[in-house]
A and B are shown apart, each in its own frame.
Chain A
Amino acid sequence: MTESILEVKGLKTYFHTRAGVVKAVDGIDFTLGKGKTLGIVGESGSGKSVSMMSILGLLPQPPAKIEGGTVFFEGQDLLTLNREQLRTLRGRKIGMIFQDPMTSLNPYLKVSTQLMEALTEHDRSTSKKSAYERALWTLEQVGIPDPKQRIEQYPHQFSGGMRQRVMIAMTLMMAPEIIIADEPTTALDVTIQAQILDILRNLQVKRGLSMILITHDLGVVAGMSDDVLVMYAGRPVEQGTVEEIFYRPHHPYTSALLRSIPSVLREDQELYSIRGLPPDPARLPPGCPFAPRCERAMPICTQAPPIRRLSLTHTSVCHLEVSPP
């Protein structure tokens, strides 16, 4: 087993709204291995983004409230840090890449200014010259052609794929240890997506970065992750190595999800579809939240499902005892 760099235990984030308490994240545990990639998979509303925002203290509180859990990073519980400590940590040690590179870059500032700011914000001793040089070097690292010329341009002069590279460069300015990428390629075309994923993979190998990749695209997860956490309605449903999840899924949700996506490799005659709709997070059914849509639901599913340990790395939160064929 590899050394772990980030350990999350029992994280709970609730939103207190007028309509009631929304349990956006209801008890997730995971461990990110050093130099590894953890893929978090789930549909919209599954709590995958909220859990990351909670870890980094990026959620407005109220309405959000972290109700419990611990997040250990370098021997510290991140949930006990104050705002200033978290701010230093973000960027310096943990970098974030968001889905939409246009809204994450300031349209009125040159790329050079924004890149240098990412550095000087955390380290005021850096000279302007060395910051500039580092910015240039980082742009080169993420494969931007003519970095000397491009660095003096504004975000709108970059295409979507190039902007996402700039965003990656920005998180790399401080040499973080963990990168959290929230749907980093969802807004991009497949050929551009392939380029960006390639860059992320290379960087990871070169720098030994640990990465959390949040996505709904199972293909991206299959290619990028070492471990996978599948979430549904704010709860973890299954977790394991990428092989365990893709080849030996235990939870009916995981296997249904895998069966319901068409493949470019096969000519499917019929496509399996999960019936029903994802539940309203404010009105979750009792017990297993997937039960109303589950093909293998049993009367017992209205009670909280147990965590089944299938191997050292593989767990599934389900009443079913054996894996479906």
Chain B
Amino acid sequence: MTTPSVAQALSVDKLQMYFPLKQGWLGQKRAWIRAVDGVSFSVGLGETLGLVGESGCGKSSLGRTLIRLYRPTSGSIQICGQEIGALEGESLRKARVNFQMIFQDPYASLNPRMTVFDSIAEPLRTHGMAKNKQELAQKIESLMQKVGLSPRFIRKYPHEFSGGQRQRVAIARALAMNPKVIICDEPISALDVSIQAQILNLLVTLQKELGLSYLFIAHDLAAVRYISSRIAVMYLGRIVEIANKTDLFAGSRHPYTQALLSAVPIADPKKERMRKRILLSGDLPSPVNPPSGCTFHTRCPYAQPRCVAEVPVAEEIGAGHQVVCHFATGRLLPRSI
């Protein structure tokens, strides 16, 4: 695990991203989806922070807010010391060279009518990063080689590629501007099992080579364990536990993290059958009307009356290990609400 250095690649403070739910005929807003509701964390230079959570927990909205596809409702986002949360227009456009995203679905993230050349050339052209055609072609070729694609494919269209190759094109495109921070939004979940490992290893190699910092968003805890040094667990718009990966897997303290870890199937028949599962009841509550107190109390196997009434605060229980639970250090008692 890298110890948090002074200079952070990405640091997020009390970030909120609310989306208006209903826009009436005259555009009046009636309710808010609290997709991201007060999130703070940081990612060190050259570090990978894993972000896990179930669908609907707000992890993708968080990622998209961080690359400023949305304007945050409140809070701060700093990339390499530059505040980008409130930037607009041309200054935002210029700042974008520092942070990029790799999207989940390589079938949707490449324009079907643009060749590999055009797709990778777009960021370079947009930011005037190649002086002439030759330099442009050279840069594109070297990017393709970096991600393990033969420049033979430069004139091909996305549909001529498999999922894994497309994801390589998307990675090359994200790398084109030499960003410092890359948000990976479930970059392997749409790929075949035998290809997932290739892409994970590629991301690791690129990180070492280029000193990139990743925020790796995923629901696959095993992949997150492999690629990250620290891991944050998100539930209903908030981070409930954050720790370095060894601590998280060995000694998670939040009941949600524990349930999540116990639910991941393991490719080992004996161990898998002997495991005790914490089965959560019910589904994720709506982020429009989140439950009172601790938002997890509706599904928590250890919920107490206090959890309904009081909002828990982050408690530091070890070096860099924070848990947002009333009983982070106390004893967990069977549910009694």
B263 CB within 8 Å of chain A: yes
Are B279 and A257 closer than 8 Å at their CB atoms? no
Contacts of A198 in B (CB 8 A): 277, 279
A75 CB within 8 Å of chain B: no
A319 CB within 8 Å of chain B: no
A220 CB within 8 Å of chain B: yes
User: Pick the contact of B194 from A162, A194, A256, A264 — CB < 8 Å?
Assistant: A256
A272 CB within 8 Å of chain B: yes
Smallest Cβ-Cβ distance to A45: which chain B residue: B192
Are A193 and B263 closer than 8 Å at their CB atoms? yes
User: What is the distance, in angstroms, from B322's C-beta to the closest C-beta of chain A?
Assistant: 21
User: What is the distance, in angstroms, from B223's C-beta to the closest C-beta of chain A?
Assistant: 5
Are B219 and A190 closer than 8 Å at their CB atoms? yes
A195 CB within 8 Å of chain B: yes
A159 CB within 8 Å of chain B: yes
Smallest Cβ-Cβ distance to A223: which chain B residue: B272
User: What is the interface residue range for chain A against chain B?
Assistant: 35 or more
CB-CB under 8 A for A161 and B283, given A219-B264, A219-B267, A261-B267: yes
B165 CB within 8 Å of chain A: yes
Are A264 and B200 closer than 8 Å at their CB atoms? no
Are B261 and A264 closer than 8 Å at their CB atoms? yes
Are A194 and B261 closer than 8 Å at their CB atoms? no
A265 CB within 8 Å of chain B: yes
Q: How far apart sit A261 and B264, CA to CA, in the bound complex (Å)?
A: 13
Smallest Cβ-Cβ distance to B259: which chain A residue: A191
CB-CB under 8 A for A191 and B260, given A268-B226, A278-B162: yes
User: Pick the contact of A43 from B193, B200, B201, B221 — CB < 8 Å?
Assistant: B193
Give the contacts of A243-274 with B (CB-CB under 8 A): 243, 246-247, 256-258, 260-265, 267-268, 270-274
A189 CB within 8 Å of chain B: yes
CB-CB under 8 A for A271 and B201, given A194-B277, A198-B277: yes
Q: How far apart sit A68 and B117, CA to CA, in the bound complex (Å)?
A: 46
User: What is the distance, in angstroms, from A29's C-beta to the closest C-beta of chain B?
Assistant: 23
User: What is the distance, in angstroms, from B313's C-beta to the closest C-beta of chain A?
Assistant: 25
B90 CB within 8 Å of chain A: no
B contact face: mostly helix, strand, loop, or mixed: helix
User: What is the interface residue range for chain B against chain A?
Assistant: 35 or more
User: What is the distance, in angstroms, from B92's C-beta to the closest C-beta of chain A?
Assistant: 33
B331 CB within 8 Å of chain A: no
Contacts of A278 in B (CB 8 A): 162, 192, 194
Give the contacts of B188-203 with A (CB-CB under 8 A): 192-198, 200-201
Are B272 and A222 closer than 8 Å at their CB atoms? yes
Are A262 and B200 closer than 8 Å at their CB atoms? yes
Contacts of B282 in A (CB 8 A): 145
User: Pick the contact of B54 from A43, A190, A217, A268 — CB < 8 Å?
Assistant: A190
Smallest Cβ-Cβ distance to A272: which chain B residue: B197
A192 CB within 8 Å of chain B: yes
A 209-225 to B, binary, CB cutoff 8 A, 1 in contact else 0: 00000001111111100
B265 CB within 8 Å of chain A: yes
Contacts of A195 in B (CB 8 A): 279-280
A242 CB within 8 Å of chain B: yes
A1 CB within 8 Å of chain B: no
B 257-288 to A, binary, CB cutoff 8 A, 1 in contact else 0: 00111111111111111000101101110000
Are B198 and A267 closer than 8 Å at their CB atoms? no
9 CB < 8 A contacts A-B: A44-B192, A160-B55, A223-B272, A246-B269, A258-B267, A261-B197, A261-B222, A267-B249, A278-B194
The interface of chain B, by Cβ under 8 A from chain A, is 54-55, 162, 164-165, 192-198, 200-201, 219, 221-223, 225-226, 245-246, 249, 259-273, 277, 279-280, 282-284
The interface of chain A, by Cβ under 8 A from chain B, is 43-44, 145, 159-162, 189-195, 197-198, 216-223, 242-243, 246-247, 256-258, 260-265, 267-268, 270-275, 277-278, 293
Given contact pairs A191-B279, A246-B267, a sample of 19 additional A-B residue pairs in the complex whose CB atoms are under 8 Å apart? A43-B192, A160-B55, A162-B283, A190-B221, A190-B263, A195-B279, A216-B193, A217-B265, A219-B272, A222-B272, A223-B265, A223-B266, A261-B222, A264-B222, A271-B201, A271-B226, A277-B162, A277-B164, A278-B162
Among all A-B residue pairs, the 10 with the closest Cβ atoms: A219-B265, A273-B197, A262-B226, A189-B54, A218-B267, A194-B263, A260-B197, A223-B272, A43-B192, A262-B222
